[in-house]
Chains A and B, each alone.
Chain A
């Protein structure tokens, strides 16, 4: 996810130099896949990062269309790209009461201030006719430090390395089968449809705003913390299937979580070794200017309660999701819609049992009070673009789940809270050139972390977190 920025340190000046170098390039000064293919961004993206049918083909064939960056005749292009964002965030009610001290605190430490949010450096290229990939290194200028202030940190972001091939029967008019392998560090980052979480809407959001606490494992809970290897098949561009297995990104795979806080309890996820299967099945069809997909994906995660103690038993998260996507792509009108529903069943075989047996949980927690819980997420969005320049998006999101005082606390009456949050997003976009997006995004909450009113027990309402976000997003 472009918005996900991991921890570590990185020189802002180095990024600025790279950005300047990119800006100083000629008309082909676009992210490196565009330099590789010689095509414009809109060939693969409705609007970055949402993929067109051609973009999906490019991804599933291993990012291998076009030229390699170096040949015996010399360099063809720079296989790197840079991205940066600057923004202003307004939180509707920026004052909250600290639950421990009772002091009034600022929810958003840079409310109404222009900030440099961060940026990314990409190494993205075709290696040969069968191998390609991208590696994203991100700098977060607004990461929360140990003392609660904001500071700069960096680390490896989304990464997807592929090897792919095609099979065509004699006389075939198009490939009968596309097949490949992926090595990545975020479940669904490898998926070519934008209804799955890693590249799902919102494509970026405020780095400063308060956001709901609960999310499923497959919806960002493991990103940049695990390593996955899998294989996929795409038959007749209609039937897609993938099976992958994930593990903690440690040992030989530790580079895939570079920059993460591995020494603090709760700093990263630790899961069983390769025993976390991820699956994906989708049916897609293109007709006229239309493209549609309906599918399912999911994952079973066997996760240690504490990342610092892998001698314990594990909790089990079973995520099953259904999703759909529709795209109507013409010049000048483009309409796209995505929807997904994720059903997570949490079985606290380790955490709950530990409490029953010893009276305390494992690690930093939070420790559930129930042996099992549920968490369900629904997301729906529709986007219209005119000439790929002027865009508008409406989105709805909902997270609901079982009440659990151990995970979510209790309300004033002593009842266990739920993780329920619902709301909407309105976004307006303007791309003066294809590498620059000026955007306004408004997020409104009907429920936040379990309630519409007084969700924190100190009088704060869900709508107090409504957020206006002005953002400039550039990629060269």
Chain B
């Protein structure tokens, strides 16, 4: 259990440092980079991720109001081909392969600044079960509360991603990928490795409703 908490602290500190270090000024070059990133988001990313990052298909994640550091790290992982689940391989390796550091930074800033997607209602019983898991975890099985890292409102903290409003189907798939080590996220793997399919469905329904 200790290594999970140490890992979390490490990620938070890394995120904080990254966030502080990535502050940009408002030079002409910065503005040019930001404009290029916005154009890429509008003309290309929106095709799958929807206008302002609110996708309609649950196969593609909602990016609106996502944590900037998280977006950066994932785009870098796609570019480096270290995030390997099927849809990442089939779609994002090619897209991210063309992005330089400036573009990754500006696209991440664009989506982080967008208004969040509204929550979607669902089965109240399932959502209530998911809320309990999200807020309290399952102490008997050493599953910590999701809120610990993702925030009480599931809006994300530092580089821990926002989950609120995300497609439930996408959330479940990512937990499954992490549980089966297809997606390499050591900290999260330690947390979800014993999670049952019913628990995944419940917590996904809850965060989608937020």
- Cα distance, A286 to B51, chains bound together (Å): 12
Q: How many residues of A contact B (CB 8 A)?
A: 26
Say whether B42 contacts A67, CB under 8 Å: no
Say whether A38 contacts B95, CB under 8 Å: yes
Say whether chain B's binding surface is mostly helix, strand, loop, or mixed: helix
Say whether B90 contacts A42, CB under 8 Å: yes
- Cα distance, A53 to B42, chains bound together (Å): 16
Q: Does B58 contact A (CB under 8 A)?
A: yes
- For residue A38, give the distance in angstroms from its CB to the closest CB of chain B: 3
- Cα distance, A38 to B90, chains bound together (Å): 8
- Cα distance, A352 to B89, chains bound together (Å): 60
Say whether B57 contacts A43, CB under 8 Å: no
Residues of A408-459 whose CB lies within 8 A of B: none
Tell whether A289 pairs with B42 under 8 Å between CB atoms, given A39-B93, A57-B47, A66-B98.
no
Selected contact of B93 from candidates A38, A54, A287, CB within 8 Å: A38
Q: Does B87 contact A (CB under 8 A)?
A: yes
- Cα distance, A54 to B91, chains bound together (Å): 10
Digitize B45-81: 1 where CB-to-A-CB distance is under 8 Å, 0 elsewhere.
0111011100011110000000000000000000000
- Cα distance, A330 to B44, chains bound together (Å): 20
CB contacts (< 8 Å) of A174 on chain B: these are 42-43, 46-47, 50-51
CB contacts (< 8 Å) of B58 on chain A: these are 288-289, 330
- For residue B99, give the distance in angstroms from its CB to the closest CB of chain A: 11
Tell whether A287 pairs with B56 under 8 Å between CB atoms, given A66-B94, A67-B98.
yes
- Cα distance, A358 to B86, chains bound together (Å): 69
Say whether B56 contacts A330, CB under 8 Å: no
CB contacts (< 8 Å) of A42 on chain B: these are 90
Say whether B59 contacts A175, CB under 8 Å: no
Digitize A345-371: 1 where CB-to-B-CB distance is under 8 Å, 0 elsewhere.
000000000000000000000000000
Selected contact of A40 from candidates B90, B98, B173, CB within 8 Å: B90
- Cα distance, A42 to B90, chains bound together (Å): 7
- Cα distance, A174 to B41, chains bound together (Å): 8
CB contacts (< 8 Å) of A37 on chain B: these are 94-95
CB contacts (< 8 Å) of A331 on chain B: these are 59, 86-87, 173
Interface with B: A89-97, A165-173, A317-325, which one?
A165-173
**Which among B44, B56, B94 has the greatest number of chain A C-beta atoms within 10 A?**
B94
- Cα distance, A66 to B91, chains bound together (Å): 12
Nearest to B89 among chain A residues (CB) is: A40
Say whether B46 contacts A173, CB under 8 Å: yes
Q: Does B118 contact A (CB under 8 A)?
A: no
- Cα distance, A38 to B89, chains bound together (Å): 10
CB contacts (< 8 Å) of A288 on chain B: these are 56-58
Say whether chain A's binding surface is mostly helix, strand, loop, or mixed: loop
- For residue A126, give the distance in angstroms from its CB to the closest CB of chain B: 12
Selected contact of B90 from candidates A39, A173, A330, CB within 8 Å: A39
Selected contact of A329 from candidates B42, B59, B90, CB within 8 Å: B59
Say whether A39 contacts B48, CB under 8 Å: no
Q: Does B121 contact A (CB under 8 A)?
A: no
**Which among A65, A67, A166 has the greatest number of chain B C-beta atoms within 10 A?**
A65
- Cα distance, A345 to B182, chains bound together (Å): 58
- Cα distance, A287 to B169, chains bound together (Å): 15
Tell whether A54 pairs with B47 under 8 Å between CB atoms, given A38-B95, A289-B59.
yes
- For residue A40, give the distance in angstroms from its CB to the closest CB of chain B: 4
- For residue A388, give the distance in angstroms from its CB to the closest CB of chain B: 9
CB contacts (< 8 Å) of B46 on chain A: these are 173-175
Q: Does B97 contact A (CB under 8 A)?
A: yes
CB contacts (< 8 Å) of A166 on chain B: these are 43
Tell whether A172 pairs with B42 under 8 Å between CB atoms, given A54-B47, A54-B48, A67-B98.
yes
Say whether A175 contacts B43, CB under 8 Å: yes
- Cα distance, A38 to B48, chains bound together (Å): 16
Residues of A150-180 whose CB lies within 8 A of B: 166, 168, 172-175
Say whether A173 contacts B42, CB under 8 Å: yes
- Cα distance, A174 to B40, chains bound together (Å): 10
- Cα distance, A14 to B58, chains bound together (Å): 45
Tell whether A38 pairs with B57 under 8 Å between CB atoms, given A168-B42, A174-B51, A175-B42.
no
Q: Which A residues lie at the B interface, using CB under 8 A?
A: 34, 37-40, 42-43, 53-54, 57, 65-67, 166, 168, 172-175, 286-289, 329-331
14 additional A-B pairs beyond A39-B90, A168-B43, beta carbons within 8 Å, are: A39-B94, A43-B90, A43-B94, A53-B47, A66-B98, A168-B42, A173-B42, A173-B52, A174-B42, A174-B51, A288-B56, A329-B57, A330-B169, A331-B59
Q: List 24 A-B contacts (CB under 8 A).
A: A37-B95, A38-B95, A39-B90, A40-B89, A42-B90, A43-B90, A43-B94, A54-B48, A57-B47, A66-B98, A67-B98, A166-B43, A172-B42, A174-B47, A174-B50, A174-B51, A175-B43, A286-B57, A287-B56, A289-B59, A329-B57, A330-B59, A331-B86, A331-B173
